[in-house]
Amino acid sequence: MSKTIISIVCPCYNEQEVLHTFTDKITSILSETGYSYELLFINDGSKDNTLALIQQLASKDGHIRVLNLSRNFGKEAALTAGLDHAKGDVIIPIDADMQDPPELIHDFLREWQKGYDVVVAKRIDRSSDTLAKKITASLFYKFHNSIADVEIPDNVGDFRLITRRVVQAIQLLPENQRFMKGIFSWVGFKTSVVEYARQPRAAGESSFNGWRLWNFALEGITSFSTAPLRVWLYLGVFISTIAFVSGIAIILKTLMFGVDLPGYASLLTVVLFFGGVQLIGLGVLGEYIGRLYMESKRRPIYIVENDTTSPPSQSANDIDH
């Protein structure tokens, strides 16, 4: 057996209905690889029986570790915690909902053995998703990649294989407001793609509703692009040019034909229009200032309440109990 360790990183939030099915499936697949492995569950402040179940699983299987966060920090923070605490030379983040088939791990390892540091899973069939989700996801990828400095591959999620040196590169990025898909792309490295069909959830419902997905998309856009800010510069120049030309035309008309009776309705429309434009611009500016404010606090990305098998040197985000 090779001494290379495979770390499976699985953030969990209210996943009690799928944990047994997921664990049985993925441990069976990992046993077939011939490598030693660990299955690292990160409990992200679950409100159901998730923590008790994974602790029970860990008591029966020495390959399973439980990282319990002090509260719900969000999936991006939980994933970051998993990457920080994973011990393996090869790390594979995966959700417990079974939408990403664990069988792909064999394909990941074959590509890794060819020398790839990153192996991503690309969804070529999203029939299990709703029409609205498929449309909005497609629009997000197109819009993000058209304005961002770093391109995110279409239909590629967090399910992937990354090597230890990729994790070390990710750990050099200190931002608190994290968009992991963008961070994975930003660090680069030699990448291979494995295609698959996305499956329906094995049980339960996704915690990502429309509002959370909208905020997630906004996080992605503002994390890797300043284009929304530049747009208001160009819009301001365009509107100022129109106003200057219009002002000259009004002066010339007044000198030649006298003063017309003012139109209150048109004046009110113009005032409301430009007032709305200014408020939108302030909103975009506020979004970036808000990110600067949150980053300036330098708060930890997450806090670990306890780890069933803490590594010898704990991170600064850990609190012993």
**Computed from CA positions of residues 138, 154, 178, 16, in that sequence, does the dihedral angle turn out positive or negative?**
positive
In the predicted structure, residue 143 carries a pLDDT above the cut 80? no
In the predicted structure, residue 312 carries a pLDDT above the cut 70? no
79 vs 244, more confident: 79
278 vs 272, more confident: 278
Task: Kindly state the tokens that stand for 268.
Answer: 């009110």
Q: What number is the average pLDDT over the span 268-288?
A: 70
Tell me the domains of the chain and their CATH numbers: 2-225+300-307 (3.90.550.10), 227-296 (no CATH)
Reported as a pLDDT band with limits 50, 70 and 90, residue 320 is very low
222 torsion bin: left (phi>0), alpha (psi -120 to 50), beta (else):
alpha
C-alpha 111/C-alpha 115 separation (Å) is 7
Of the candidate ranges 26-30, 184-188, 292-296, the one whose mean pLDDT is the lowest: 292-296
In the predicted structure, residue 134 carries a pLDDT above the cut 70? no
pLDDT of residue 91: 93
Average pLDDT of every residue of the chain: 77
pLDDT of residue 289: 76
Q: What number is the average pLDDT over the span 191-201?
A: 78
CA 242 to chain centre: 40
253 vs 260, more confident: 253
In the predicted structure, residue 105 carries a pLDDT above the cut 60? yes
**Computed from CA positions of residues 120, 125, 130, 134, in that sequence, does the dihedral angle turn out positive or negative?**
positive
Taking only the tens place, the pLDDT of each residue in 212-259 is 655 656 665 666 666 666 676 677 767 766 766 766 776 676 667 665
pTM score, two decimals? 0.69
pLDDT of residue 152: 74
Cβ proximity of 148 and 221 under 8 Å: yes
Reported as a pLDDT band with limits 50, 70 and 90, residue 158 is confident
Task: Give percent of the chain with pLDDT exceeding 70.
Answer: 65
Taking only the tens place, the pLDDT of each residue in 300-309 is 888 888 877 5
pLDDT of residue 299: 78
Q: What number is the average pLDDT over the span 113-129?
A: 81
Cβ proximity of 270 and 29 under 8 Å: no
Cβ proximity of 194 and 157 under 8 Å: no
CA-to-CA separations, 56 to 60, 93, 320, in angstroms, rounded: 7, 21, 21
Residues 6+ apart with CB under 8 A from 314: 304, 307, 320
Taking only the tens place, the pLDDT of each residue in 6-61 is 999 999 988 888 888 889 899 999 988 888 899 999 998 888 888 889 988 888 88
Reported as a pLDDT band with limits 50, 70 and 90, residue 316 is very low
Q: Terminus-to-terminus CA distance in the chain, angstroms?
A: 36
3-state secondary structure of 201: coil
Of the candidate ranges 68-77, 131-140, 154-163, the one whose mean pLDDT is the lowest: 131-140
Kindly give the pairing relationship between strand 304-307 and strand 64-69. antiparallel
Spatial strand order of the sheet with 2-12 comes to: 191-197, 118-125, 156-163, 90-93, 2-12, 35-43, 64-69, 304-307
In the predicted structure, residue 128 carries a pLDDT above the cut 90? no
pLDDT of residue 317: 54
Angle at 153 between CA 147 and CA 220, to 5 degrees: 50
In the predicted structure, residue 161 carries a pLDDT above the cut 80? yes
